[in-house]
Every structure is written in structure tokens, then in C-alpha cells.
Amino acid sequence: MRSLMKKTFVITSLLATSVIFAADPHWTYDEPWENLSNTTTPTKASDLPYAECSLGQKQSPVDLNTAKAVTSTNALKTAYKSESLTVVNNGHSIKVNLPTTTKSVLAIGSEQYTLLQYHIHAPSEHVVNGRASAAEIHFVHSTPDGKLAVVGVLVDAPATAKKNAEFQKILDVAPSNLTDTPALIADPTKLLPSIAKFYLYSGSLTTPPCTEGVNWYVLKTPIQITPAQLTAFEALYHDNARPAQALNGRQVLAK
């Protein structure tokens, strides 16, 4: 009986791994994503899991220069906690994962979103009038029913900047390989500027599968890191930024 259970577990695990692999082809920033497949002769929609990256009409990031000023929109309120986090190198960026028990939340009006993870792009993905910032940090949140909200923090790296202690915590433990997962005690709040003013629009994930239905809040006020800190991150990842996508009739709002 024990032998049968062990065999069943192994087969189930292999099947699960196969399914995940089949639905998740490897991608890089140097190639079109919509045609990637794990089969040599795709014949159905599920063979092209990243098709939405090209077919979607509400893709991210975007150029924020056409933003329309508004005064009445839900305010943002963060209640992030200092806790033990896990830092991973996922092959595309350095990502900081929160524990499943986290109490770190973002309130948008009366709705609460739990902070799942945050990660870094260099240069920034969102641009203003075609101009990119040195980097951008994405704070990814979700509601229990799966609604997504991402807060984007633009990062400048002027010669006059002082070392950013919270950003340095990530750099100090950021793994250069895909297997190490060091722990980090950190408070994500310390990576946030003022959240009173922001750009708001409806978009997507900026990496495959480019899922749409994401509410984006890109903060107007940037944070700063030193040029040396930017160089240290770029030694791990640089140009891990998707170009700005067409608005296709969407409106960007600015509070």
C-alpha cells in the first residue's frame, strides 16, 4: 500500500510538472512573446499561452504623458508591515515575496488588497513623454477573489542621491542564481514615496502571460537610489523592461 501511494505521488508530481511546463514556455525580453509555445506545431489557443501579450487591447506599461487630471478618485492607503520576506531571482528580475500569512495591505477606497510581492525593473517600464526613469519597483496586490492592483514606484539615480538603506537591503542578499532564496527582514513602506499623487489606468501584467484586468497606480513622486546602487542592480538585471504599449482608447487619469 505504501509503495502504491509513493508511486501515485511521483506520477502525480510528474504530471503536475508537465502541465506547468506545457503552459509556461520560457521567455526573454529579446523576443516576441505571443508566438512562444512548448509545442513545435501549435494547433489550439492553449498552445500559445502568451497570445494576449499581442492581442490584448489593455496592455501595460504605457506612456503617462496624456493623463487627464481628476480630483475625485479613491485614495490609496498602505498598511505594510516589517516582517520576514524571501528574496528570489526568477530569471527576469529580483523579486521579494511576502509570506502567505502577511497582514501587509493596500486600501483603495473601501477595498483591501493584500501585498503579494514586489520586484524591480531597470529602466522603468512606465514612461512620461517617452522618458524612462532609472528603475521602477512594482508592488503587486490581490484581493481574495483575484482582483489585481499594482503600485508602480519610479526610481531616480542622480549623482546627488544618498544611499537608499531599504533598497540596499535587497541588494545585499539578492541571489545571482535561481536556486537561493535568502530571507530578509524589511518594511516595504520604506520603499514608498508620498502616495497622495498618482497616475491611474486599467492595464495588464507587464510580463507573460500579460493578463489584463490589472488596476495600475503609478506614483508621481519618485524615490532615489545612488548611481552605485543602480549599477549593482544592473549587474544582475538590466533592460528588463517592456516597452510602452498602445493605449487603444484608454484614458490615463492623474490625481
Beta carbons within 10 angstroms of residue 136's beta carbon: 24
Contact by Cβ (8 Å): 68, 243: no
Q: Which three cell numbers stand for residue 58?
A: 489593455
The CA-CA-CA angle for residues 210, 130, 141, to 5°, reads 35
C-alpha cell at 234: 544592473
> Within this chain, do residues 212 and 247 fall inside the same structural domain, yes or no?
yes
Distance, in Å, from the CA atom of 214 to the CA atom of 185, rounded to the nearest integer, reads 28
Q: Are residues 233 and 170 in the same domain?
A: yes
Same domain, 118 and 221: yes
Q: Are 61 and 126 in contact (CB under 8 A)?
A: yes
- Are residues 211 and 98 both part of a single domain? yes
Dist CA 215 CA 75 (whole Å)? 13
Q: What is the pTM of this model?
A: 0.89
| Pair 121, 44 in one domain | no
Domain coverage including residue 2: 1-55
Residues 185, 152: one domain? Answer: yes
What are the C-alpha distances in Å from 218 to residues 27, 127, 140, 215, 252? Answer: 26, 10, 12, 10, 10
Residue 85 belongs to domain with CATH number: 3.10.200.10
Do 109 and 24 share a structural domain?
Answer: no
Report how far Cα 236 is from the mean position of its chain's Cα atoms: 17
Q: What is the pLDDT of residue 39?
A: 83
Output the CA–CA distances (angstroms, integers) from residue 4 to 15, 102, 153, 196, 204, in the order listed: 16, 38, 52, 59, 44
Q: Compute the distance between CA of residue 64 and CA of residue 150 in angstroms, rounded to an integer.
A: 15
User: Do 63 and 51 share a structural domain?
Assistant: no
> Pick the catalytic residue: 26, 92, 119, 126?
92
Amino acid 5: pLDDT: 37
Interstrand relation of 94-97 and 68-69 (parallel, antiparallel or unpaired): unpaired
Q: Does 135 share its domain with 83?
A: yes
Q: Cell 528570489 sits at which residue? A: 88
Residue pointed to by grid coordinates 523579486? 95
Same domain, 51 and 147: no
Active site residue 92: yes
Which residues face 176 on adjacent strands? none
Tell me how far apart the alpha carbons of residues 62 and 39 are, in angstroms, rounded to a whole number: 31
Asked if 202 contacts 140 with a C-beta cutoff of 8 angstroms, the reply is no
Per-residue pLDDT of the chain (255 residues; tens, 9 = 90+): 434 333 333 333 333 333 334 558 999 999 999 989 988 877 777 889 999 999 999 999 999 999 999 988 999 999 999 999 999 999 999 999 999 999 999 999 999 999 999 999 999 999 999 999 999 999 999 999 999 999 999 999 999 999 999 999 999 999 999 999 999 999 999 999 999 999 999 999 999 999 999 999 999 999 999 999 999 999 999 999 999 999 999 999 999
State how many domains the chain has. Answer: 2
Which of 133, 117, 113 has its CA nearest to residue 125?
A: 133
